[in-house]
Copies of this chain bind each other. A is one copy, B any other.
């Protein structure tokens, strides 16, 4: 390949990103070459900025540029209800619903023996501390509907139940707009088990 060295290096760095293959990396690199230096500089600066200024909230462990995040500082949020998620992206997905008015607790992953991640590597202790300190009334488990997500949810449930807190789990079932005919068996079983009285 006849890449000039700085270009080869950029393509290499871009290839390390998730979902970016050699072809996309090349396309992105050439795009960055083509655009004005100012625009490229803004991207580079925003990458550095994020690394320097974003940390985790000391309460819920969501990403934030403050010691305590916007959600945890919001007085209109119900501090007695905690939604437990695996990572900040899941938190964002929940926020997008505009339905949940409690606070969050970001575990920082899911229990996964395959990847060597045990519960002691997640923010379990911090969750218990919050439940006790803030006299939490309900813990909503919002982990992904996967084996690891379920195991993690069950672990959290057992962990917080001794503190006489209500523990619920978000419903699994058919996605809205979905098609019975196309639903996989596991989803249909969940949908059936989660059926409600009309």
Contact = CB atoms under 8 A, between A and B. Distances in A.
Query: Interface residues of A: mostly helix, strand, loop or mixed?
Result: helix
Interface stretch (A7-15, A118-126, A145-153): A7-15
A88 B51 contact: no
A42 B65 contact: no
B10 A50 contact: yes
- The 9 A-B residue pairs with the shortest CB-CB distance, nearest first, are A44-B44, A4-B65, A10-B46, A44-B47, A13-B43, A37-B51, A6-B53, A6-B49, A13-B46
A32 B47 contact: yes
Instruction: Tell me how many chains of this kind the complex includes.
Output: 2
Nearest to A91: B2
B95 A4 contact: no
Contact of A28 (B12, B17, B32, B53): B17
Contacts of A62: 2
A45 B54 CA distance: 19
A9 to B, nearest CB: 5
A1 B66 CA distance: 16
Contact of A89 (B26, B40, B91): B26
A6 B88 CA distance: 15
A89 B29 CA distance: 10
A58 interface: no
B43 A6 contact: no
A99 interface: no
A161 interface: no
